[in-house]
Amino acid sequence: MSTKPSRYTVTAALPYANGPVHIGHLAGCFIPSDIYARYLRKKGEDVLFVCGTDEHGAAINMKAQAEGTSPREIVDRYHGIIKDSFDKIGVSFDIFSRTSNKTHHETAQAFFKELYDKGSLEEKVTEQYFDPEAQQFIADRYIIGECPNCHYEEAYGDQCENCGRSLSPTDLINPKSKLSGSTPVLKETKHWFLPLDHLSGKIKSYIESHKDWKPNVYGQCMSWLDAGDGLQARSMTRDLDWGVPVPLPDAEGKVLYVWFDAPIGYISATKELLGDKWEDYWCKEDTKLVHFIGKDNIVFHCIIFPAMLMEHGGFHLADDVPANEFLNLEGKKISTSRNWAVWLHEYLEDFQGQEDVLRYVLTATAPESKDNDFTWKDFQTRNNSELVAILGNFINRVLVLVQKYYEGKLPEYGVLPSSDLEILGALKTAPADIAQSLEKYRFREALGKLMALARLGNKYLADEEPWKKVKTDPERTAQILFVASQISAQLAQLMEPFMPFTAEKLRNALGLKSLPWAECAKEIFLASGSEIQTAGHLFQKIEDVVIEAQIQKLEDSKTDTSPKYEALKEEIQFEDFSKLDLRVGEIIKAEKVKKADKLLHLEVDLGFEKRSIVSGIAEHFKPEELAGTKVTVVANLAPRKLRGVLSAGMILMAEDSNGKLSFTSPPADMPNGSIVR
């Protein structure tokens, strides 16, 4: 967009309501979007900042079933936790809605209906499996059966995990529903697909018109568009009872696909807040639309959602999608399932009154251009040597001195020398300078520029030494503290988007109102005679014990993840078991399979013969360490080729809850070829 936008629509990715929010979400999406929105508001722009919980989809349904409760119960729980924690950390959404509410259902249905009415959707009737016991259609991956290709007994309906073959549920021999364990029956069902291939040209030129997007975003989009198969038609509906009902006759038990309804959630949240005025923020070309997301969401926000909007017509497409990379934690990937995370609601409990510290640290260390690491040690250092020592200390020095020398009343300053005018000049240019970074979504750079002001203040005091001059030159001392107070005032204004709580505290001490950004471009904020109070310490030092406790907490949570035990499979008869021929084998030779990351080509001695077996264990074992290892082999499995290499049999492996594999090895003196039973 070349001309100045008339209004802004800022969205933050909808958090999925099956768990709380952690620091990775914050650093990647919510803190930057909040800084941006607060900055725009302070600039006096017309800005709408929307978000909400994404509450549909099979995963929430499954979680509810696993906990023996309802999806409603799950989403209510997490919507509450998430909304509350966003409030407390100061993420200033204009509305934080949810996709399960009425407005959203209506909006999503109307959107779908529009596509349907104009003939954009392809209707396909297919036979799908239906679970008679659970009385519902079953998603492909919740159907298990025997693979027609390799006869693996537990192939999923969409793919056999054993031979890797893509499957359709109807290919399975002896299918079972994972929901109830019963045998599903085929039933005709109708679904609606959105073809995308005819849009690929439009989408490509849309992306290409945004070469200014971040390289990681632009690169991923082009990579996706250039991929071989082109854009496939996507089914926009599912057979499920939790979600937005498909607004057509004959669509009993069908809901919109969660990926279809979720982004529309941005729009319905807007409607909920603004009523008819919503169109200004979504349809007008002079609106600037910015989606803040994590890198896992790039393709969806840059390609699929715009495609939906294009096909519908009448919508303005995203002007920028400043996706961040991932934040690691103490050198390891954040993982919800392994409980390796710092949860926002827990941080807020443990660090009450230190909301801005987390905002500051996550901004300073945000993964803007590549993955970054959050460590508690770094958190402590940034708090102690940046917030406390540089920023808090400067403010404290000024306020204490003004209190001490002038009873809190700002003195007259007479005619300032040019060195002071230079300092004040820096205050005048700071807003534009910081704005330049913010407009480019360079939040850590912007924050650095803010801190440079505090550094300037500290240097000014050190150079001028008012505590000495007060004895010899009261007039000059008055000037110095007058100038230093102006720096404090500018800090109070400009820190607002980054650290809103501290900004308010400081403004109150200085008796200032929040000023529009443009009005911050000046030298003097506080007139002589202004009453100034001390603010106490803006930031508290964080001691080692506090940090050690957090690290310990992380370690503990890691070990106490109760391992997830898979449900037992259905009972089998002895003859089922006796079909298996298990033998003791010994690995003689192992080498990596070319062009495959996970596969090892093994030569296994079964006593009576040597076998070639391909096994997916390359990420767990080095080939040269394997010779001589005793293993248990499924010896009568039908042979097949993997990556062009013959695999005649299968090695049995045990897997722990972290996905680590180990051999089920017989003792070394057990002869090769021995029967296992």
Chain Cα centroid distance, residue 627 = 43
Of 363 and 550, nearer to RNA (C-beta) is 363
The angle formed by the CA atoms of residues 585, 164 and 169, to the nearest 5 degrees, is 125
In the region spanning residues 118 to 157, those forming contacts with RNA, defined by CB under 7 A, are: 152
Rounded-to-integer distance, Cα 334 and Cα 16, Å? 16
Rounded-to-integer distance, Cα 43 and Cα 515, Å? 9
Q: At what angle do helices 500-510 and 355-364 cross, to 10 degrees?
A: 120
Task: List the one residue from 18, 237, 297, 396 that touches RNA (CB under 7 A).
Answer: 396
Where does this chain touch RNA (CB under 7 A) — which range of 52-60, 62-70, 159-167, 239-247?
159-167
Task: List the one residue from 7, 428, 541, 610 that touches RNA (CB under 7 A).
Answer: 541
Site string for RNA, 264-303 (x = CB under 7 A): -------------------------------xx-------
CB of 407 to RNA, least distance (A): 15
Where does this chain touch RNA (CB under 7 A) — which range of 262-270, 462-470, 523-531, 601-609?
462-470
Of 288 and 444, nearer to RNA (C-beta) is 444
* Residue with token string 């302070």: 42
| Contact predicate 499/360, CB 8 Å | yes
Task: List the one residue from 100, 297, 393, 477 that touches RNA (CB under 7 A).
Answer: 393
- φ and ψ at 90, to 5 degrees? 85, 25
Q: Is 482 exposed, middle or buried (CB count within 10 Å of its CB: 0-12, 13-18, 19+)?
A: buried
652 near RNA (CB under 7 A): yes
In the region spanning residues 207 to 226, those forming contacts with RNA, defined by CB under 7 A, are: 215-216, 218-220, 222-223, 226
Of 107 and 216, nearer to RNA (C-beta) is 216
Of 30 and 218, nearer to RNA (C-beta) is 218
468 near RNA (CB under 7 A): yes
CA-closest candidate to residue 348, choices 92, 93, 88: 88
DSSP state of 300: I
| Contact predicate 260/311, CB 8 Å | no
Of 50 and 481, nearer to RNA (C-beta) is 481
Of 213 and 278, nearer to RNA (C-beta) is 213
DSSP characters over 635-654: TTSPPEEETTEEE-SEE-EE
H or E, element range at 359: helix 355-364
Rounded-to-integer distance, Cα 476 and Cα 432, Å? 30
The angle formed by the CA atoms of residues 52, 239 and 170, to the nearest 5 degrees, is 135
Of 87 and 473, nearer to RNA (C-beta) is 473
DSSP characters over 414-438: -S--HHHHHHHHHHHHHHHHHHHHH
Rounded-to-integer distance, Cα 22 and Cα 221, Å? 27
Of 177 and 458, nearer to RNA (C-beta) is 458
371 near RNA (CB under 7 A): yes
Where does this chain touch RNA (CB under 7 A) — which range of 451-459, 520-528, 563-571, 572-580?
451-459
**Which whole-number Å values give the CA distances from 481 to 265, 395, 422, 488, in the listed order?**
51, 11, 15, 10
CB of 50 to RNA, least distance (A): 25
564 near RNA (CB under 7 A): no
Of 121 and 321, nearer to RNA (C-beta) is 321
368 near RNA (CB under 7 A): yes
CB of 494 to RNA, least distance (A): 17
CB of 576 to RNA, least distance (A): 19
Task: List the one residue from 279, 445, 504, 603 that touches RNA (CB under 7 A).
Answer: 445
| Contact predicate 3/285, CB 8 Å | no
* Residue with token string 């996709």: 99
Site string for RNA, 413-432 (x = CB under 7 A): --------------------
365 near RNA (CB under 7 A): yes
392 near RNA (CB under 7 A): yes
The angle formed by the CA atoms of residues 427, 433 and 438, to the nearest 5 degrees, is 130
Strands (E) across 81-207 are located at 95-98, 122-131, 136-137, 143-146, 155-156, 173-177, 185-194
Strand duo 640-642 + 653-655: pairing: unpaired
539 near RNA (CB under 7 A): yes
Q: Is 421 exposed, middle or buried (CB count within 10 Å of its CB: 0-12, 13-18, 19+)?
A: exposed
Q: How many residues does the chain have?
A: 677
Task: List the one residue from 141, 202, 459, 622 that touches RNA (CB under 7 A).
Answer: 459
653 near RNA (CB under 7 A): yes
Of 121 and 538, nearer to RNA (C-beta) is 538
Strand duo 95-98 + 47-53: pairing: parallel
369 near RNA (CB under 7 A): yes
Task: List the one residue from 170, 530, 540, 557 that touches RNA (CB under 7 A).
Answer: 540
CB of 150 to RNA, least distance (A): 8
**Tokens read off for 346:** 């827990």
325 near RNA (CB under 7 A): yes
Of 312 and 541, nearer to RNA (C-beta) is 541
In the region spanning residues 608 to 637, those forming contacts with RNA, defined by CB under 7 A, are: 615-617
Of 70 and 658, nearer to RNA (C-beta) is 658
By CB under 7 A, the count of residues binding RNA is: 80
474 near RNA (CB under 7 A): no
Q: At what angle do helices 500-510 and 474-494 cross, to 10 degrees?
A: 150
Task: List the one residue from 580, 639, 643, 670 that touches RNA (CB under 7 A).
Answer: 643
Task: List the one residue from 4, 102, 211, 370 that touches RNA (CB under 7 A).
Answer: 370
